[in-house]
Structure 1
Amino acid sequence: MSEVIAQLSVSLDGYLTGPDAGREHPLGIGGERLHQWVFGLRSWRGQQGIKGGTGGPEDDLVAEWIKRLGAVVMGHGMFTSGEEPWGENPPFRMPVYVVTHHPREPLVKEGGTVFHFITEGPERALALAREAAGDKDVSLAGGADLVQQFIRAGLLDELLLHVVPVLTGEGGRRLFDNVGDKQLEWRKTQVLDAPDATHIRLRAR
């Protein structure tokens, strides 16, 4: 069975976004800083349809993650961030299952991305994503609420954290709020230290 993996950039104080995340500021005010480490990498740029970029261990890490994926699950808030959700040519190039309370027909974009809108909850979205992914893995893209639901339900197999050495301060969305009241243990399987982020791969026990 395919695994469920999430790769997320967080601040030292545990935030996924800056304050006031929404349509005007999809990553919150100043939230782009959490992702600067990836913007110049060859693998990330290639996924956006941009030529060039740098190689190295960080690029290998991202390229390996991209290669594993066969489908994506995301929350409604992540889908609707920005004025035009993900533009005409989103970077996914695979089926994306949006957990939502708003039913609508599938949205077909360029490059092979098709957004499917699932109103029966996260587990149904995951079942459909696994079917579409085949022998590949499912990316849990976010946002924070959906990741927390998967953690509480024990549905997240692997978490790749990119810890960026900044303090976001008040506001924003924290990754590990609302994950339940029982102790959770993760097994550390990889650590890659780089100038702009420390990358930690964790497996759920």
Structure 2
Amino acid sequence: MSLTRVHNLSISLDGFATGEPQSAEAPFGHAGQRLHEWMFRTRFWDQGGTTGVDDAFAERHSVGIGAEIMGANKFGPPGWQDDPDWKGWWGTEPPFHTPTFVLTHRPRPSIDLEGGTTFHFLDASPADALEAAREAASGQDVRIGGGATVVRDFLAAGLVDQMHVVQVPLVLGRGVRLWDGLEGLEDSYDVEAVSSPSGVVHLTFRRALA
């Protein structure tokens, strides 16, 4: 069976994956782009970027992925459901290149865009969304793309097989936390930590074998 994976999920030292308030002008709230600067410096993001530890982790993001699941707040700013012309942040050719399932309480018809990305809008539980994504993935893995609330819901439901979290050395103090309600999560996973010269720590979680 295909795996369910999380990649390149950046969090602050106090566990926040985004700041607040989120808006069209500030998708990550007061955090800005600070949580993701480590990735912007890599060759995965920019051909002229670095090729070290950060790049090695970042590039795993797209390998073997056949579908993605994301939350409403990743697809657009608050209120995007009221704009029938909103097609996501990424323009006419989004970077996913797979069927992509957006979880929202206000579904709309699917959108086909260039490069192989089709956005499907579902009002579904994590288990039901994963079933739909696995069918669309044709045997490849399914990526849980975020934001933090969606990742947390899939973790709480026991549906994540592998997860890559990047701890960034900054304190946000407020926003959306990843770890709330997940006490004891480490008991279900083998956890490894790799420090990078950039100052971030790459945490990998792999479901522990029974």
State TM-score, norm by structure 1: 0.87
1:177 and 2:173 matched? no
% identity of equivalent residues: 40
3-state SS in 2 of match to 1:148: helix
RMSD of the alignment, in Å?
2.0
Identify the residue that residue 163 of structure 1 maps to in structure 2.
Answer: 167
Indicate the SS of the match to 1:55. coil
User: What secondary structure is seen at the aligned counterpart in 2 of 1:12?
Assistant: coil
Gaps of 5+ in 2: 81-85
The answer to whether the Cα contact below 8 Å between 2:54 and 2:196 also exists between their aligned partners in 1 is: no
8 Å CA contact 1:21, 1:172 repeated in 2: no
Q: How far has the Cα of 1:164 moved from its partner? A: 0.5
Q: Which SS does the other structure have where 1:6 is aligned?
A: strand
1:3 matches 2:3: yes
- The structure 1 segments of at least 4 consecutive aligned residues displaced by more than 6 Å after TM superposition are none
> Is the 1:118–1:124 contact (alpha carbons within 8 Å) kept by the matching residues of 2?
no
Q: Does 1:148 align with 2:152?
A: yes
Q: CA deviation at 1:146?
A: 1.3
* d(CA) in 2 for partners of 1:168, 1:56: 27
Match of 1:149, SS state, is helix
Q: Deviations over 1:168-202 (max 9, x none)?
A: 12x211111133xx632231245242323111111
Partners of 1:109 and 1:27 lie apart in 2 by 24
| 1:81 matched to 2:77 | yes
CA contact (8 A) 1:16 1:173 kept: yes
Matches within 5 A, 1:65-80: 65-80=61-76
* Partner of residue 48, structure 1: none
Q: Deviations over 1:95-136 (max 9, x none)?
A: 101111112111112211110011233222211111222232
The count of aligned residue pairs is 197
Q: Give the CA deviation at 1:37.
A: 0.4
